[in-house]
Every structure is written in structure tokens, then in C-alpha cells.
Amino acid sequence: MESELRDEIVVVGGGVIGLTTAVVLAERGRRVRVWTRDPVERTTSAVAGALWWPYAIEPVTSARGWALRSLDVYEEAAASPEVTGVRLVEGVLGEADLDGAQAWAGARVPGLRAATAEEYAGSGMWARLPLIDMSTHLPWLRERLLAAGGVIETRTVSDLAEADAPVVVNCTGLGARELVPDASLRPVRGQLVLVENPGIRTWLVATDVSGAKTYFFPQPGRLVLGGTADEDAWALEPDPAVAESIVRRCAALRPEIAGARVLGHRVGLRPARNAVRLERELLPDGRVVVHNYGHGGAGVTVAWGCAEEAAGLAHGAASS
């Protein structure tokens, strides 16, 4: 029993970062409990688009490594898209640095090339990347965790010291702002519009001169339109005027979107930070917290790489 308790880990947070970290730990033989305030279907991760690409995340070198490790997993998962929610889909990253992308990802993402004028009116990069349907992917992660012996408990945590385990992994995203507390975390509000897909099979991310992004992602049964990146905005209600603007901007890129029937609206708060916090901390009572939060809009992209690094820190903590 003492050995079992020494091996137990509580992961706080049930979004894509928390679930992925818990899966890695459980599949390495650790006894894992996930404490989550919301079921996976109501987490911020459920609102994600979600295209694999390290977007607005620091430190860049580490993020690229985490992303490439995650790519390994997503490419394997794409063999069963109906189960995992992961598909490899072609599309255009507008205003992307092709040479820079080839330098760090070219060996792992073959076929990166400049987009043609027919594919995109501006300067862009054509790529075949993982596109993840979070409504399928998050439940798949949950089932994979449960199959590995993990446990999920619904509870609200006001202090990391509440976790009755020798090692706690903090994957609370924006919640870490109050829980740690970490005032450097801030919300970056994202709003999406879901419409009937008028036959679009490729994705597109376009960036205007101000740096604002407009994008559409074909997902099973719908087309996801975006988006916004409003810093320090906490409102979770969709703004009708913003929704109209999103549809209008997407329709300027693909006119057939203009007449698509609206299916719904989504709002999520990305947990932004000047850099991801992925490190180990000793609590006053001698227990260990491994922090894994602050991934901004790239949580899905780096989830597996960060999870494996966090699991390594947790193992080292338990062994010391």
C-alpha cells in the first residue's frame, strides 16, 4: 500500500493538457487521479479549432520540439479518425515563413511548399497537417485514460495543497492565475462560428497587416470559422457583431461561406503567458507540484510533448 501511495499522482485540470498528461502517466504505470471542475465537453479545450501548428507560444525552440513529438502521436491517431478525431488535412497558412518552417519542420512535414495563386491570393504555405475534432478527441483521451486505470473526479480545487498525493501536476490553464497564483497568466478570448459546410475540404489561416487571423477548418458535420484573439477579455457570451464579422471575413476568402447556415457559436479563453510554465516546485509540506500550463492557443499542438516532459519531472519527483 505504501508503494502504491508513493506512485499516486493527482493531475489537476481536465482539458487537453491535463488529460494528455494523465494518459502518459497512467500508461507508464502510475496511479493517476484527474481532478477537473468541468467534464471534458465543457473545458476550454472543447472550443479549440484545432489545427496542429505552434501558434503564439513561447519559448519557441521548446515549443517546436513539443509540437514535433505531438505530431508523431497525431499522425498515428489519424489512422482511425472516427475514433480519435484526428485527420491529416491539406490547407494554406497565409503569410507564413516557408523557409523558416522548412528549417524546423521540413524533415517531419514533407511537402511544405509555397501556395499557388489559385490556392491563396496572397503569399502562403501549403501543408498537410493534423486537424483535430475536439468533440471526438477529448472523449477519446478520457477513455484512453480510464482504460489505463486512471480515475476522473469532478471537483473544484481552491488550493493545490488539497491534493492528497505526493506528486501533483498542475494543468489548470487559466485557472492557475488564481490557484498558484500566477498573475502573468491572462485570457486571450477566442470566438468561433459553426456553419454548415458548403463543400470546403481544405483549411485556411489568413493573417492581415495588423496580425489578426481569419480561418476556417472543415470538421465532421460542420465548418469552423474564426476568429478573434482579444487579450484580457473575459466575456464568455458570443458577441453577435463579432460573429457577423467572422463570417464576413471568411466569406471574403471563400464566397460560398456567405450563405452557409449557422449551426452555433463558441467562445473560449486561451491561457496565455509570456512562456509556458513546465517545471517542478517543492511545496512547504515537502510534496511536489509539476506545473504544466500557459500554452495559449497552442495547447493541442504541444500537448504530447509537454505531457511527456511533465511525466518525466513527476517521475523524478517520486523517485527522489
Residues 176-202: pLDDT tens digits? 999 999 999 999 999 999 999 999 999
Assess contact for 86 and 219: CB atoms under 8 A: no
Nearest to 311 by CA among 4, 17, 14: 17
Assess contact for 306 and 66: CB atoms under 8 A: yes
What is the predicted pLDDT for the residue at 250? 97
Assess contact for 20 and 141: CB atoms under 8 A: yes
Beta strands in 80-150 (DSSP E): 86-94, 113-114, 124-132
Nearest to 219 by CA among 266, 170, 156: 266
Q: Any bridge partners for residue 18, and if so which?
A: none
What is the Cα–Cα distance from 149 to 284, expressed in whole angstroms? Answer: 30
* pLDDT of residue 44 exceeding 90: no
Beta strands in the chain (DSSP E): 8-12, 31-36, 86-94, 113-114, 124-132, 151-154, 167-170, 186-195, 203-207, 213-219, 222-226, 230-231, 262-272, 277-282, 288-293
52-68: average pLDDT: 95
Q: Which domains does the chain carry?
A: 1-85+133-185+273-320 (3.40.50.720)
* pLDDT of residue 3 exceeding 50: no
- pLDDT tens digits, one per residue of 266-317: 999 999 999 999 999 998 888 999 999 999 999 999 999 999 999 999 986 5
* pLDDT of residue 319 exceeding 60: no
pTM: 0.95
What is the Cα–Cα distance from 311 to 16, expressed in whole angstroms? Answer: 15
Query: Residue 22, class by beta-carbon neighbours within 10 Å (0-12 exposed, 13-18 middle, 19+ buried)?
Result: buried
- pLDDT tens digits, one per residue of 235-257: 999 999 999 999 999 999 999 99
What is the Cα–Cα distance from 214 to 31, expressed in whole angstroms? Answer: 42
What is the predicted pLDDT for the residue at 2? 40
What distance, in Å, lies between the first and last C-alpha atoms of the chain?
Answer: 19
Assess contact for 17 and 171: CB atoms under 8 A: yes
* Percent share of the chain, pLDDT over 90: 86
Average pLDDT along the chain: 94
